[in-house]
Copies of this chain bind each other. A is one copy, B any other.
Amino acid sequence: MSAILMPKPDERVLARRDAIIAGLAALLPAASLITEEDERRAYETDALTAYRQIPLAVVLPETTEQVSAVLKFLSAEGVKVVARGAGTSLAGGALPTADAVVLGVSKMNRILEIDTDNRIIRVEAGVTNLGVSGAVNHLGFFYAPDPSSQLACTIAGNIAMNSGGAHCLKYGVTTNNVLGVKMVMIDGTVVEIGGAALDSAGLDLLGLVVGSEGQLGVVTEATLRILPLAEGARPMLMGFQSAEACGACVAAIIGSGIIPVAIEYMDRPAIKVCEAFAHAGYPLDVEALLIIEVEGSEAEIEDLIGRITTIAAAFNPSTMKVSQSEAESAAIWKGRKSAFGAMGRIADYMCMDGTIPTGCLPQVLTGISDICAGYGLQVANIFHAGDGNLHPLVLFNANQPGELEKAEAAGADILKLCVEVGGCLTGEHGVGVEKRELMIHQFNTIDLDQQMRVKTALDPKWLLNPHKVFPLEGRPV
């Protein structure tokens, strides 16, 4: 079994389950309340499938008013609430507890307003990430953050985790692209934070809400920035005979001031698996591969590719191939975006999510190899190199007793290394349950206390997704 410690469920809540369900039934349409065990089981885990727990009940409200009524009722009853988007969290962000009600936003999926003059879109929080771009592509616009799970993941989850993606190097992550939210607090009050216009008076609660992992409230609507589609875009592949040379090349490109749309990194194990799955045209004879995408007019694309090629030459790439067609570009990206799924076909894995200053890439890549070798585990690296957001996949066999614990230990060592060189525990996946107990390596008790004071100020009884993010020890409640 895993080393993750789940808090003991509140027996008083479990004992009142029938009354709680009856109370919820009075507030919701019948189809919005899930109580049978076999149906609740669908919500027992998210994309971090190593951890599972069937929740007390599941509600799927259709409106902000219903969310408000549900939270008001549950907070009065002292029942915990775990908000859930599409359940694609890789950090256990949507993992329930036995005494918690899961609140899914999947039925709130309407596009509410499109305003290209002001470059905004307003959506309900259950709209998928790709659904946002889909609603404005025909107008020449798109929504920039693009997690690999974008076909499934929701804006609600993107906001909770401050999600990134391959193209966030140029356009920023979720927090840079959300202008406002409608959010329901734990006592049922509905607040509007931010909005269509620049900045906002008073304290910036919007920045606080983005990335708060469902711990401050439930977001039901969001106003998002949409951007004009680029005239054109082109990926190139660049292969190296060592991770060090490849990492140094990335640091040199970023250090030169060029900001491509994306710089993605794959090591040999990742290349092999992705190529077998997607036939992307990746070279199989290199230790490390970069996918670098630039965009703009034809002249800009040519200019940027020329400058990047010149910088890269100093690091002796053994492959250098610019995409020659739309089909080739699509294949290159399909390989990258399906990487986690492809890897899942051949092994169980823990997907880490540390960030580091770009200049430390070579050193940290070597460190990751050493750490995994020390535990006798394989590792595959697929990540957003341009902004230093690493995704080492620590491979293991879940059916082999003790391997999950080894993978967890290796993952923890990797994240500690990221923090040591000046980086962070998580770039875009969130802390969740996975990295909760590692927070003490990033923050001292003073830092954590400040964060928890803010949590307590907005959720005094710690009912919102409480078993996540903060170490179980040292909490105020």
In whole Å, how far is A189's beta carbon from the nearest beta carbon of chain B?
A: 5
Q: Which residues on the B side are within 8 Å of A191 (C-beta)? A: 446-447, 450
Asked if A375 CB lies within 8 Å of chain B CBs, one says: no
Stretch at the interface among A81-89, A202-210, A266-274: A202-210
Q: Mark A239-270, 1 if CB is under 8 A from B, else 0.
A: 00000000000010011111000000000000
- Do A204 and B212 touch across chains, with their CB atoms under 8 A apart? yes
**Chain A interface residue count, Cβ-Cβ cutoff 8 angstroms:** 86
A455 in contact with B201 given A255-B116, A303-B297, A447-B192 (CB within 8 Å): no
- Do B119 and A197 touch across chains, with their CB atoms under 8 A apart? no
Q: Which residues on the B side are within 8 Å of A455 (C-beta)? A: 203
Asked if A42 CB lies within 8 Å of chain B CBs, one says: no
Q: Mark A415-452, 1 if CB is under 8 A from B, else 0.
A: 00010001111111001000100010011001110110
In whole Å, how far is A459's beta carbon from the nearest beta carbon of chain B?
A: 10
A31 to B446, CA, bound (A): 31
- Do A207 and B119 touch across chains, with their CB atoms under 8 A apart? no
In whole Å, how far is A453's beta carbon from the nearest beta carbon of chain B?
A: 4
Q: Which residues on the B side are within 8 Å of A469 (C-beta)? A: 201-203
Q: Which residues on the B side are within 8 Å of A426 (C-beta)? A: 199, 201
Q: Which residues on the B side are within 8 Å of A388 (C-beta)? A: 197-198
A178 to B368, CA, bound (A): 29
Q: Which residue of chain B lies nearest to A421 when distances are taken between CB atoms in the complex?
A: B197
A255 in contact with B202 given A454-B457, A456-B457, A458-B450 (CB within 8 Å): no
Q: Which residues on the B side are within 8 Å of A181 (C-beta)? A: none
Q: Which residue of chain B lies nearest to A189 when distances are taken between CB atoms in the complex?
A: B446
Contact of A212 among B193, B203, B443, B456 (CB under 8 A): B203
Max chain B Cβ within 10 angstroms of own Cβ: one of A175, A185, A190, A424: A424
Known pairs A192-B447, A197-B355, A297-B303; list 10 more (Cβ under 8 Å).
A176-B176, A189-B446, A202-B442, A203-B208, A204-B207, A204-B212, A208-B208, A227-B257, A228-B258, A454-B458
Asked if A195 CB lies within 8 Å of chain B CBs, one says: yes
Q: Mark A145-175, 1 if CB is under 8 A from B, else 0.
A: 0000000000000000010100000001101
A141 to B456, CA, bound (A): 41
- Do A197 and B300 touch across chains, with their CB atoms under 8 A apart? no
Asked if A221 CB lies within 8 Å of chain B CBs, one says: no
Asked if A477 CB lies within 8 Å of chain B CBs, one says: no
Q: Which residues on the B side are within 8 Å of A442 (C-beta)? A: 200-202
